[in-house]
A and B are shown apart, each in its own frame.
Chain A
Amino acid sequence: MSTPHPALFEALLRLGDDRLVLGHRTSEWCGHAPILEEDIALANLALDLIGQANLLLEYAGAVEGAGRDQDALAYFREAIEFRNALMCELPKGDYAVTIARHFLHGVFSVLQWDALSSSTDATIAGIAAKALKESRYHVRHAGEWMIRLGDGTDESHRRAQDAVNLLWPFTGELFMPCSDDAELAAAGVTADVSSFEAKWRETIDDVMLRATLTVPEGAWMQRGGREGRHTEHLGHMLAEMQIVARSHPGAQW
């Protein structure tokens, strides 16, 4: 096991918690999606994300060196210890919110995994290479739906625009670097998130145009998730997620 590395641990929590929380939110659709085909598609998305979180948190536990495995990190941390971006924890909302969030976060993820697949840390590079393929499909799925919802009926257009407006103020946080990441990014272990923004925006603008949707301008960008200052929603989500594990501390499942 490698020597404890607090900055790398934090970086892995940021990566893992985004996928865990977003995967959990996506899994809430299971059995309730608009059509059977989409139920299956959303479950695939959730499975990919939780699978990524599983690997990232397992590695985070190893890097931390305190004997915590991925389940200890997922089930026995408080909300203030989570490092996910706020966007991921918002309630699942209607189908437009779900699709828009997958699209906005997915395009970011593709850029992030693409950069991390050449990480100097072999474990991160391995996870990133696998996750990159998954995220590319997520973007294809969500992007095609953005276009169909945006350029579908009046109602779907309105809902899609509402979803983008709701989520937009949470996009800025994705590109805000954390101070403890600078050294790791310089060493090629992680990647500077601020470097993805221009490319991200290009893809977003292209799809938004084809979806006949408008990009909100001048929104105040919320932040806090990376420092553990979350919305009120995360605590409720974790209360549900962690209840069984916490009721039986030390138990095997």
Chain B
Amino acid sequence: MNPTPTVAEDPSRLAEFEARIAADGTIEPKDWMPARYRSQLIRMMSQHAHSEVVGMLPEGNWITRAPSLRRKMILLAKVQDEGGHGLYIYCGTETLGVDRQELVQQLLDGKAKYSSIFNYPTLSWADMGAIGWLVDGAAIVNQTMLAKASYGPYARAMVRICKEENFHKRQGYEIMATLANGTPAQKAMAQESLNRWWWPSLMMFGPHDKDSSNSDELMRWGIKRKSNDELRQRFINLTIAQVKAINLTVPDPDLRYNEATGDWETGPIDWDEFWRVVKGNGPCNKERLAARRAAHAGGAWVREAALAHAEKQQ
């Protein structure tokens, strides 16, 4: 992480800006904003958009193998939605004065981050269930908060995305529930998949609050409204009940219910693994970027053709 150099902001404008945020006001593209607010938003929104687009790949891997026509259509519609969500958020980012092409190039050059969860491979059909249920479930917890973000275009994109994503988690859970109630081989497939996706999905909320470098500022400016640990706990509490309902188990011998707080407490998260994947050494980091680069390079002649044709018409 390389923080942009601190710009000396006009103290009265900054105070006015922060008062507006404190009063739950919404910041719009043409409004004055601190340079650091703009750069943090561009970073966070473009990472989010990249995550949606890279996130098409692990599930896209199973569209051609979906085991029924109904599942094939659902999965295709879901992965398409991810592309749409990437598009909405890129457009929201463009209101901050950057071009989508520039952001995409940062991704392709390996200079931008995206959610590490998509650097894990999809190895069985049950992974389509686990991703919809856990990964989209975690994303929804996060995005519901972001729908109240202080930057108008981001919040509005999130409102639209949350509305559309309602079906994503449900279809994933339905896949898992069907497998868990299916043949012994299907049930084993579901459990094995849950075992692989459980811990990475908890890592999606990011490091513990005490280790999260960007969180304070993001919360002060109303870009984030809840901390990583709060969101993670909310997700765990919601999910454990769902795991039990379909008679699967989470791969955590230390899991216990805290009567006093009403929270499910997990064993320690392997942050070494988290940082290893963030730093590029997850199982699929290289493949995911290679796939995006191949699509972009392979499509260059198409994009050029459309531009050339439009110019001829003028």
Contacts and interface: CB of A to CB of B under 8 A. Distances in A.
B65 A153 contact: no
Interface in B270-314: 291, 294-295, 298-306, 308-309, 312
A57 B182 CA distance: 25
Interface in B80-108: 80, 83-84, 86-87, 90
A75 B68 contact: yes
Interface in A145-169: 147-149, 151-153, 155-156, 159
Interface in B165-197: 175, 178, 182-183, 185-186
B96 to A, nearest CB: 18
A241 B72 CA distance: 10
Given A32-B291, A156-B301, A156-B305, A40 B66 contact: no
Contacts of A245: 67-68
A251 B183 contact: yes
Contacts of B80: 30, 39-40, 43-44, 47
B120 to A, nearest CB: 16
Contacts of B67: 75, 244-245, 248, 251, 253
A152 to B, nearest CB: 3
B83 A40 contact: yes
Contacts, number: 142
Contact of B76 (A43, A94, A253): A43
Contacts of B182: 248, 251-252
A35 interface: yes
Contacts of B86: 36
A33 B300 CA distance: 10
A33 B295 CA distance: 6
Contacts of A94: 298
A152 B304 contact: yes
Nearest to A50: B73
B299 A34 contact: yes
Interface in B199-254: none
A35 B269 CA distance: 37
A54 to B, nearest CB: 5
A53 B69 CA distance: 9
A70 interface: yes
Nearest to A99: B302
Given A34-B295, A253-B68, A46 B76 contact: yes
Nearest to A51: B73
B122 to A, nearest CB: 12
Contacts of B64: 24, 27-28, 240-241
Contacts of A39: 56, 80, 83
Interface-centre pick from A24, A34, A51, A241 (highest chain B CB count, 10 A):
A34
Interface in A2-56: 20, 24, 27-28, 30-40, 43-44, 46-47, 50-51, 53-54
Given A34-B299, A151-B312, A243 B76 contact: no
Contact of A248 (B73, B77, B183, B308): B183
Q: Is the interface of A mostly helix, strand, loop or mixed?
A: helix
| Interface size bracket, B side | 35 or more
Contacts of B306: 148, 152
Nearest to A44: B80
A148 B84 contact: no
A147 B298 contact: no
B85 to A, nearest CB: 10
Interface in A235-253: 240-241, 243-245, 248, 250-253
Interface in B98-151: 125
B65 A35 contact: no
B35 to A, nearest CB: 28
A30 B65 CA distance: 13
B302 A243 contact: no
B305 A54 contact: no
B68 A27 contact: no
B44 interface: no
A248 B185 contact: yes
A95 B298 CA distance: 9
Given A40-B84, A51-B73, A35 B303 contact: yes
A75 B71 CA distance: 13
Contact of A152 (B84, B125, B309): B309
Interface of A: 20, 24, 27-28, 30-40, 43-44, 46-47, 50-51, 53-54, 57, 70-71, 74-75, 94-95, 147-149, 151-153, 155-156, 159, 240-241, 243-245, 248, 250-253
22 contacts: A27-B72, A30-B56, A31-B56, A32-B60, A34-B302, A35-B299, A36-B86, A39-B56, A40-B83, A40-B84, A44-B80, A50-B73, A57-B69, A75-B67, A95-B299, A240-B65, A244-B65, A244-B67, A245-B67, A251-B182, A251-B186, A252-B182
Interface of B: 53, 56-57, 60, 63-73, 76-77, 79-80, 83-84, 86-87, 90, 125, 175, 178, 182-183, 185-186, 291, 294-295, 298-306, 308-309, 312
